[in-house]
Amino acid sequence: DTAVSQTPKYLVTQMGNDKSIKCEQNLGHDTMYWYKQDSKKFLKIMFSYNNKELIINETVPNRFSPKSPDKAHLNLHINSLELGDSAVYFCASSQVGSRVHTEAFFGQGTRLTVV
């Protein structure tokens, strides 16, 4: 069983379209994340959700809207796609506590290409 799975793996779309990327984790973790890896391979956090509540929103354009229907899912919806949105998007999950920090598990990534 894949711990963190995201779909689709590849996504090619035209500028201006709206698209969604889905993420599911079966680890029972309470915190989920979206990261973006650009063409220079720099990994940057976009959002963090804890128990379905938004905890971190790192200066991401409001065209990006995360949705967490339950603790096991964190989907990413992107409106009006732009060329600069082309990147690999990674979903991750972990269990965060006040005294511990467990390992984060990452999905395999979604390579988004906007043409």
Partner 1 sequence: DAKTTQPNSMESNEEEPVHLPCNHSTISGTDYIHWYRQLPSQGPEYVIHGLTSNVNNRMASLAIAEDRKSSTLILHRATLRDAAVYYCIITGAGSYQLTFGKGTKLSVIP
| 77 HSE (CA, 13 A, CB side) | 9
Asked if 35 contacts 41 with a C-beta cutoff of 8 angstroms, the reply is no
Least spacing, CB of residue 106 vs partner 1, in Å: 3
Query: Interface residues for partner 1 in 77-106 (CB under 8 A)?
Result: 90, 92, 96-101, 103-106
**Phi, psi (deg, nearest 5) at residue 81:** -55, 140
End-to-end distance of the chain based on CA atoms, in angstroms?
Answer: 34
Place of tokens 């989920």: 32
The size of the interface with partner 1 (CB under 8 A), counted in residues, is 28
d(C-alpha 7, C-alpha 5), whole Å = 7
Least spacing, CB of residue 54 vs partner 1, in Å: 10
Query: Interface residues for partner 1 in 15-44 (CB under 8 A)?
Result: 31, 33, 35, 41-44
Give the nearer residue to partner 1 in terms of CB position, either 15 or 54. 54
Residue 8 binds partner 1, judged by CB under 8 A: no
**Phi, psi (deg, nearest 5) at residue 84:** -70, -10
Give the nearer residue to partner 1 in terms of CB position, either 1 or 14. 1
Footprint of partner 1 (CB under 8 A)? 4, 31, 33, 35, 41-45, 48, 50, 55-56, 90, 92, 96-101, 103-109
